[in-house]
Structure 1
């Protein structure tokens, strides 16, 4: 640990400009002549942990996106993704009164990006759910990546539809893709499916009055999964059920006898259930877990970095002072391993990391919280410094100091009790680009970080103020 005296007046002003919510731990005394500012450095220890060490059910995957495919990587083994989705029906929906028939139906999977081999041959299968899922939060296991889809469809039944595809469809011109911004896997559904939809509508139009009625009486949903091939993972942003209908309109003679055709879309939206199931091979992370010289991040449902701060040591030194800034940086190394340079499909780099207490992870995502820079913190990847920097941890540490002062010490000690974790996340923004939500990063990303149980210790830079007491 290194302590150095800083010039009080100018540095204190700089400190306050850095963090406008400076957190007081000790109380300033009324008869102080000046406030002295100091800095101190501590060391944090890090190690790699599996996400399943936090929750054996995997990660909370209630998102607006779906993932599909299978890929084997030399560093991280085999990974696969499939999903269940329901289809929303707008309130008060009706078909045209003169509808003659639903001619055909298709399920469209729209994606702007993917990971892996663009031309790897894959086969997707669509199964019809036979059990409606109530998206009311009463069964939280539905939203985790290890849910069992066989509870909701008959795996012995014939598939509703199958389709061979590649991530890049050479049959679709680049000009069309540039116009829409999407690649598409369009899966034709059988004539019997269209007929059943029409039959349900003719039976009772109230089945289509809202999403709940539609899901419980017409279409419980789809289970979409790959059955052959590997080499790519699709990052699906939109899912549409397209119904092509025939109906009559008034002709020039005034009679309703002219036949026209149109397509009616039904979307999978965040008002209905959609959740991705993810699997990694059993020995996927053996190499990374055995590496004690670094730590790792791997998404999805892979590896996290656990961070332990020397809280008891810090409290002994700073427990009566005011913490103005506590910062720590995590440096990303160039490659994940020696295999990385040989892999033709480089994984992405996690762009955002969430830092929070390990004990609060499940609650954070289940309750759809966003970071508050008080107990949870967000850092973005800097390609300039190859690092992620958190600079306002004084707020969390001051809170922990308060707990240490007033509560009984946990059996495992404060350092262990308040272990932190780094979690790769995706951000949701509003029209002004303000971050309004976070979710787990479910794309294929990875990073190797400086640190590890036997590796370099990470520096925690603390700036604090201490009043000088007049005699």
Structure 2
């Protein structure tokens, strides 16, 4: 017992010296002879929470430069589908080559560095032109939630611009060629969609006749200023695309780059100084951060609701599927330690090896969420909409460790200390302190700078899952507390 006490004293001293921003909840006396260091364990309760419950069926905020496309059915989590809307950027001051003959052909290219599922699964993609331009002023954040209704943006009864069958693994390329392309630029050979196969297609209720290249050519002939910048191009030429699957299932593409590529012919001078040589070039317009893009996600509600009802463990499922709610024993902790200084509050969440027997035997194994954000449940919406970063004071980042098979959080004392201060000085919320400070674990992707520092977080939109020890009727989550108690408080 004495050895355990001495270890607690040593750990407390180390943590206090390292954490110079620790918020004290009692008086701290610098003289070590006047301090009593102790350790105590509390228990938190967890449960599985659907994102529908967390976000009131808004989906998740997905303002990213990546897009996702496909459909996959999992024996545990049900069917998941994803598609996207994107505008195409036209750079400021763009000009076609002088003496252009015509726009010969146009393709939409979707470049992906990775995917989930069966690389040979037959799929069918459809491309529709948006019925009107979307002006993204930054005020309508609802545009970026994954539950939007695509029929608000395109005519579902109109003729599509393109339809095409595909598979992740394009058999027109050999394995050696695919490996060479992937190693050179990080991407597989792109999904190239021919936009000139349809003779009639729709922009809203207006039906167009002729190929898409002919339409672009006519818009250029009508007024070259239609191509002078992104605003003119989006409003006068191409409002954007809705890209979605209409057949097949088995794969999800993780799309990094989107290109509208035009093959153009134009005349150049020959050696005699006459415009008598016709040459060809490829002109790419990209979907960039300067224009609008948003992903739509759809999960099987029945399957997720059924998993959320299980009481002896919890789940994580991305994208926009399941997260884990964490109830901290705040009143119990406050009654025991409300006048003491919390030097460390640590907790960890251990992952089962597999989600189920189904996942263990599946040839298409979901990845493990690599990073979890621990955040107050009532702060999730503002955190992502305002593009905040975790601060290790009220929001915390835990990274999966394959060594311990868990996610650890070691500075939760900063949050608990602030809560204790609120409990002493502020009016109790209507729902009570425990409910007000209910936490959730949300899988996130991190954005880093050149030095490797995390500068931003966003929802994890890839296909990942984990089953965690816990649950309302399962094993409680241990909260290990190191605290110091000045002698005069005894």
Which residue number in structure 2 is paired with residue 313 of structure 1? 332
The answer to whether structure 1 residue 303 and structure 2 residue 322 are counterparts is yes
Structure 1 residue matching 2:418: 3-state secondary structure: helix
Runs of 4+ in 1 over 6 A off after TM superposition: none
Which residue number in structure 1 is paired with residue 380 of structure 2? 361
Structure 2 residue matching 1:306: 3-state secondary structure: strand
Distance 1:150 1:38 in 2: 61
The 1:333–1:265 alpha-carbon spacing in structure 2 relative to 1, beyond 3 Å, is same
Which residue number in structure 1 is paired with residue 226 of structure 2? 207
Distance 2:276 2:446 in 1: 52
Q: Which moved more, 1:227-236 or 1:133-142?
A: 133-142
State the shift of 1:177 in Å: 2.7
Which residue number in structure 2 is paired with residue 186 of structure 1? 192
Which residue number in structure 2 is paired with residue 277 of structure 1? 296
The answer to whether structure 1 residue 54 and structure 2 residue 60 are counterparts is no
The answer to whether structure 1 residue 385 and structure 2 residue 404 are counterparts is yes
State the shift of 1:32 in Å: 8.4
Which residue number in structure 1 is paired with residue 419 of structure 2? 400
The answer to whether structure 1 residue 15 and structure 2 residue 15 are counterparts is yes
Which residue number in structure 2 is paired with residue 111 of structure 1? 112
State the shift of 1:139 in Å: 2.3
Structure 1 residue matching 2:34: 3-state secondary structure: strand
Which residue number in structure 1 is paired with residue 207 of structure 2? none
Structure 2 residue matching 1:284: 3-state secondary structure: helix
Distance 1:151 1:26 in 2: 56
Q: How do 1:31-70 residues align onto structure 2 when only pairs under 5 Å count?
A: 33-55=33-55, 56-70=57-71
The 1:219–1:343 alpha-carbon spacing in structure 2 relative to 1, beyond 3 Å, is same
Alignment deviations for residues 326-351 of structure 1 (CA, whole Å, 9 cap, x no partner): 11100000111122222221111101
Which residue number in structure 1 is paired with residue 486 of structure 2? 467
The answer to whether structure 1 residue 372 and structure 2 residue 378 are counterparts is no
Q: Which moved more, 1:316-325 or 1:31-40?
A: 31-40
Q: How do 1:114-133 residues align onto structure 2 when only pairs under 5 Å count?
A: 114-133=115-134
Distance 1:7 1:61 in 2: 46
State the shift of 1:30 in Å: 8.4
State the shift of 1:18 in Å: 4.3
Which residue number in structure 2 is paired with residue 73 of structure 1? 74
Structure 2 residue matching 1:244: 3-state secondary structure: strand
The 1:9–1:60 alpha-carbon spacing in structure 2 relative to 1, beyond 3 Å, is closer
In the alignment, is the contact (CA less than 8 A) between 1:31 and 1:470 conserved in 2? Answer: no
Alignment deviations for residues 38-58 of structure 1 (CA, whole Å, 9 cap, x no partner): 221110000001011121111
In the alignment, is the contact (CA less than 8 A) between 2:79 and 2:299 conserved in 1? Answer: yes
State the shift of 1:279 in Å: 0.8
Which residue number in structure 1 is paired with residue 357 of structure 2? 338
State the shift of 1:95 in Å: 0.9
The 1:249–1:432 alpha-carbon spacing in structure 2 relative to 1, beyond 3 Å, is farther
State the shift of 1:7 in Å: 6.3
The 1:470–1:223 alpha-carbon spacing in structure 2 relative to 1, beyond 3 Å, is closer
Distance 1:203 1:17 in 2: 71
Structure 2: which 5+ runs fail to align?
197-209
Which residue number in structure 2 is paired with residue 456 of structure 1? 475
Q: Which moved more, 1:199-208 or 1:328-337?
A: 199-208
> Which among 322, 326, 329 is matched to residue 348 of structure 2?
329
Distance 2:282 2:177 in 1: 19
State the shift of 1:311 in Å: 0.8
Which residue number in structure 2 is paired with residue 259 of structure 1? 278
Distance 1:378 1:306 in 2: 15
Q: Which moved more, 1:50-59 or 1:460-469?
A: 460-469
Distance 1:470 1:407 in 2: 23
Which residue number in structure 1 is paired with residue 177 of structure 2? 176
Structure 1: which 5+ runs fail to align?
none
The 1:466–1:229 alpha-carbon spacing in structure 2 relative to 1, beyond 3 Å, is same
Structure 1 residue matching 2:211: 3-state secondary structure: helix
Distance 1:272 1:332 in 2: 39
Structure 2 residue matching 1:53: 3-state secondary structure: helix
Distance 2:213 2:349 in 1: 54
Which residue number in structure 1 is paired with residue 149 of structure 2? 148
Q: Which moved more, 1:318-327 or 1:121-130?
A: 318-327
RMSD: 2.0
The 1:18–1:383 alpha-carbon spacing in structure 2 relative to 1, beyond 3 Å, is farther
